[in-house]
Structure 1
Amino acid sequence: MSTIHEQAMNHVYQQVLQRLIGHFTRAGRTALQLLVQRIVVAAGGMEQVGDFKVLVAHGGGGSSSYTLALLRAAQLTIAGRAPRTFHLRVATLRHAGMTEGQLDTLNRGYGRLFLHDDPRVELLMVENQEVQPFNHQRPASTAGRENNQRTMLMVGHLSSGDCRATLCNDTYLALGDFYLRATTYNGGVHALVSGDSPRKQSQFLAWLKKTALGAGIAVPKGRPLSLNELFARMDEWSAGYYRDVFGEHYVANSMPSKASHRHLAYIGIADLLDEVDLASASLLTDFMAYTPDPLGFHFSHPAYSNPLLMAHLRGLQAECLRELDYEAGVEGFIQQASRYMRRLHMPEALLAQAGTCEGRLLASTFAQQFFGLDETQLVCLLFSPFIHHGERLEGYLRQCHPGMLVALPELHKVLQGKPSAEMLQQWVADTSGLPMPLLQHLYRKRPLIGPNGLPRVQAGQGAAGAVQMSSQ
């Protein structure tokens, strides 16, 4: 970079900083100064800050968008006071429920912060356990989409059609692998910055621990001694869960490095965001051009992680399993989740459409586009007819495919792996969306969630004292 070009870019960066500071409230400016202090202290002083690498996980939500803007302001503030400033790594977990709208919001925010061409900034995306440079126009990985579809179906069947487990487990379980890769990639980082509250983090770890215990995985007592150990433990729980779900069909992926050559520091800033009203922050709405996508997956609340698809599943559940109208199931969910859905700025027209024929078609199209599942396969998932030696198979056929009742004994033979008609094998595979080996594996498995909605192995108390990890 020539001296003239470097001077010109420094001038641009200072203009970005001034615009950023102009959108901070008094509390925001105080938070900025405190964040600068925390980073300098963590780096070991202003003389060392130029060699310091910081990671922020960015899922596209309002909280992580504000945290990123605050970090960028801190980076540029230090650059105006010292010869060098810290390096910033921004990493995003790309999952099946991430929409083009969410990717566009990420890219637009990066552009407003002038991150794309700054050599002090690294923009990454982890997709299907692979670290790549961020590119909002890159199509979703075909292999990743297929893996997600298969996992979603297996989790749905083994959780007895539990809607939350079906939609959330695969995405949340991927976080251990995500953090291992994001923190160790290309020489690693020195610190992780997060704006998540200790309560939110503790709830997530308690959920992860409960999920692991439900799959029969041994969970060590005591808290991890470091972030590195915590992320490795999360990844081990995830791998153990998938090993239980898929059995002999589990294929281990290339593991990220679990050892780091350095201690990974944690810089929490939840206390600095307490006075910030994210819903009305001009930093997000005006400067970052932040636009929440109501159709996408949201990390902030597992019960409402994907409102459109969750409402659709509740509607199908009411229609097929509870002898109610589809609309009644959707309306029940909307009433329960309306407050949260409005926080996501879900359009009123979309809320009004939910439960109608048009809303059902939209949700079905969404499920097909992002998860590759049609309504027949979703209904099959909700019934979970194959698990535990097909104990629900007759009821499923009677309710959804009465013309196949005559073939019930032969279908059991199909699922037992005995010689059977190829036509029946194809029918079961098409109806479920799963290949025959996995269907036969389901037939031999007990559900991970019992009739009371709890894991077969009851979880203990929440994991206390750990660190923030969400990528909302």
Structure 2
Amino acid sequence: MNYVYQQVLQRMIGHLTQAERTVLQLLVQRIVVAAGGMEHVGHYKVLITHGGGEVSSYTLAMLRAAQLTIAGRAPKTFHLRVATLRYAGMTQATLDNLNQGYSALFFHDDPRVELLMVENRDVQPFNAQRPASSVGREVSQRNMLLLGHLTSGDIRATLCNDTYLAFGEFYQCVATWNGGVHAMVSGDSPRKQSQYLAWLKKTALATGLDFAPGKPMSLNRLFARMEEWSIACYRDLYGEHYVGSEELGRRGYRHLAYIGIADLLDDVDVPRSTLLTDFLAHKPDPFVFHFSHPAAPNPLLMAHLHGLQAQCLRELSYEHGVESFIRQAMDYMRHRKIPNALIAEASGEDGRILSTTYAQEFFGLDEGQLTCLLFAPFIEHGERLEGFLRQCHPGMLVALPELHKALQGKPAADMLQQWLVDTSGLPLPILQHVYRKRPLQAERGILACKPRFTQSEAPTARLSGR
């Protein structure tokens, strides 16, 4: 097999420019130094988180090239752990893209490589054909709905915040699982990582809970702190209904090093690198979530939600809402290489059906439940409930007093209780919890400000490897 792996390496090197070959040599040097020398590198395990984005795909390929380069120079090379967070909305096309890259890099039969996927805190071997967990889907659906209602129907917070919070636990999980790792490699910029950490910390502090003061002095402690912040946010979100992991405090038994290579990529045009486009055959999925761009993490789905919002909340047409959003996001959508045909049909019936099908398949939500989420009629003791009924369910106006009773926990007809559950997608106890809550403060949404579509301006979560 060593001959096969060296053939893979030679094919990869054949795609590298001179600048990229320099990046490879510097990456090899950084890993060897972090390991304590070539004599120790065979016992070194490196983590990379991978969501299928261009930067993380390119970084992964470079890391594989470094692994095989060292294997050709020393008796042993470092071990590699590749971890992916399976979030709600991850399409089969994204999974296939990941798997295709792994096959091109000859990962599947290499004992020096671990391919992991984490879903709802459960760590499993990567398998592109494994269906999404029904439990994980239900949890994600509930989190998404609850966040949507408690942020008064903020579209970006609805789509992004649950996954951002999940990343807070994800890093600690994959860094400590099964003996842990020695180092983490990332191509993400420190500035963008800092923006994500600042958001997570600010969101956690807004819960009013007490946390240890000061900055964590090691990556181990940072991941533990991120997990603590994330769990605190979920506890605050659900209140007495919180049911979560009690594994808080998992610790790695060794110091965890960080090997950043963002500075090495300054002179590399990653999207046009043939290592990415030809060797890995990386193909962007129009419906993939890009959490590094929360102004439009999933432009087609966001356009659909803006259409529903215009139709049901602003008394405009669905087409008006979609087209208004697309005008703002057009340059970004083209940068994302979303096909012009999909953009053109987004405001039409075919585009609406496509987005509705996607929302139903991956989130289990129909148009009525999405509209209810955007209206957020239950918060602050049902302040918007009458307006919601008048606009979307006029036949239920006569039952308004009884609906309030059901939401207050008072006796009410089973039929009305079931109507609330079916219309919202949330269990009645959670709806009663929402009824008693005030909207989350604006700054607790991932982006409460005016949307921006430039890569340099949008707050990001690039630790995610997307």
- TM norm. shorter chain > 0.5: yes
Work out whether 1:418 is the aligned partner of 2:410: yes
Q: CA deviation at 1:242?
A: 1.1
Where 2:426 maps in the other structure, the secondary structure is coil
- Residues 284-305 of structure 1: CA distance to partner in whole angstroms, max 9, x if unpaired? 1110011111112122211211
User: Is 2:227–2:248's contact at 8 Å kept on the other side of the alignment?
Assistant: no
User: Is 2:196–2:462's contact at 8 Å kept on the other side of the alignment?
Assistant: no
Aligned residue for 1:24? 16
Aligned residue for 2:453? none
Aligned residue for 1:52? 44
Work out whether 1:109 is the aligned partner of 2:101: yes
Aligned residue for 1:5? none
Structure 1: segments with no counterpart, 5+ residues: 1-8, 460-466
Identity level (%): 71
Aligned residue for 1:470? 464
Which amino acid in 2 is paired with 1:416?
Q
Work out whether 1:378 is the aligned partner of 2:359: no
Q: CA deviation at 1:219?
A: 5.3
User: Is 1:215–1:448's contact at 8 Å kept on the other side of the alignment?
Assistant: no
Distance in structure 2 (CA, Å) of the matches to 1:203 and 1:250: 27
Structure 2: segments with no counterpart, 5+ residues: 449-460
- Residues 145-188 of structure 1: CA distance to partner in whole angstroms, max 9, x if unpaired? 00000111000000100111100011111112111111111111
Where 1:13 maps in the other structure, the secondary structure is helix
Q: CA deviation at 1:308?
A: 1.5
Distance in structure 2 (CA, Å) of the matches to 1:359 and 1:56: 36
Work out whether 1:266 is the aligned partner of 2:252: no
Distance in structure 1 (CA, Å) of the matches to 2:35 and 2:155: 44
Distance in structure 2 (CA, Å) of the matches to 1:345 and 1:67: 20
Distance in structure 2 (CA, Å) of the matches to 1:470 and 1:295: 17
Which amino acid in 1 is paired with 2:137?
R
Distance in structure 2 (CA, Å) of the matches to 1:393 and 1:367: 24
Aligned residue for 1:170? 162
User: Is 1:209–1:219's contact at 8 Å kept on the other side of the alignment?
Assistant: no
Distance in structure 2 (CA, Å) of the matches to 1:281 and 1:76: 20
Work out whether 1:356 is the aligned partner of 2:345: no
Where 2:196 maps in the other structure, the secondary structure is helix
Root-mean-square deviation (CA), in Å?
1.7
Q: CA deviation at 1:345?
A: 1.3
Work out whether 1:216 is the aligned partner of 2:174: no
Where 1:23 maps in the other structure, the secondary structure is coil
Distance in structure 1 (CA, Å) of the matches to 2:209 and 2:285: 36
Structure-2 change in CA distance of 1:261 and 1:334 (3 Å):
same
Q: CA deviation at 1:470?
A: 2.4
Which amino acid in 2 is paired with 1:421?
A
Range 211-220 or range 416-425, more displaced: 211-220
Where 1:174 maps in the other structure, the secondary structure is helix
Aligned residue for 1:440? 432
Work out whether 1:306 is the aligned partner of 2:307: no
Distance in structure 2 (CA, Å) of the matches to 1:211 and 1:309: 25
Aligned residue for 1:118? 110
- Residues 338-391 of structure 1: CA distance to partner in whole angstroms, max 9, x if unpaired? 222222211110000111111111111100000000000001001111111111
Structure-2 change in CA distance of 1:218 and 1:325 (3 Å):
farther
Aligned residue for 1:195? 187
Work out whether 1:150 is the aligned partner of 2:129: no
Q: CA deviation at 1:206?
A: 2.0
User: Is 2:311–2:318's contact at 8 Å kept on the other side of the alignment?
Assistant: yes
Q: CA deviation at 1:214?
A: 3.6
Work out whether 1:39 is the aligned partner of 2:31: yes
Which amino acid in 2 is paired with 1:203?
Q
User: Is 1:312–1:363's contact at 8 Å kept on the other side of the alignment?
Assistant: yes
Aligned residue for 1:406? 398
Q: CA deviation at 1:455?
A: 4.1
User: Is 1:180–1:256's contact at 8 Å kept on the other side of the alignment?
Assistant: no
- Residues 235-259 of structure 1: CA distance to partner in whole angstroms, max 9, x if unpaired? 1111111111111110022426521
Q: CA deviation at 1:98?
A: 0.7
Distance in structure 2 (CA, Å) of the matches to 1:288 and 1:79: 21
Which amino acid in 2 is paired with 1:289?
A
Aligned residue for 1:70? 62
Distance in structure 1 (CA, Å) of the matches to 2:194 and 2:225: 15
Aligned residue for 1:368? 360
Runs of 4+ in 1 over 6 A off after TM superposition: none
Distance in structure 2 (CA, Å) of the matches to 1:371 and 1:230: 31
Q: TM-score, normalised by structure 2?
A: 0.94
Range 260-269 or range 236-245, more displaced: 236-245
User: Is 2:46–2:185's contact at 8 Å kept on the other side of the alignment?
Assistant: yes
Where 2:47 maps in the other structure, the secondary structure is strand
- Residues 306-354 of structure 1: CA distance to partner in whole angstroms, max 9, x if unpaired? 1111111111111111222211111121122222222221111000011
User: Is 2:184–2:259's contact at 8 Å kept on the other side of the alignment?
Assistant: yes
Where 1:298 maps in the other structure, the secondary structure is coil
Aligned residue for 1:13? 5
Q: CA deviation at 1:140?
A: 0.4
Range 248-257 or range 434-443, more displaced: 248-257
Q: CA deviation at 1:26?
A: 1.0
- Residues 5-43 of structure 1: CA distance to partner in whole angstroms, max 9, x if unpaired? xxxx11111110011011111111000000000000000
Distance in structure 2 (CA, Å) of the matches to 1:49 and 1:468: 27
User: Is 1:95–1:127's contact at 8 Å kept on the other side of the alignment?
Assistant: yes
Aligned residue for 2:333? 341
Where 2:107 maps in the other structure, the secondary structure is coil
Distance in structure 2 (CA, Å) of the matches to 1:92 and 1:57: 6
Paired residues, number? 453
Aligned residue for 2:454? none
Aligned residue for 2:458? none
Distance in structure 2 (CA, Å) of the matches to 1:61 and 1:154: 28
- Residues 71-108 of structure 1: CA distance to partner in whole angstroms, max 9, x if unpaired? 00000000111111000110100111110000000000
Aligned residue for 1:463? none
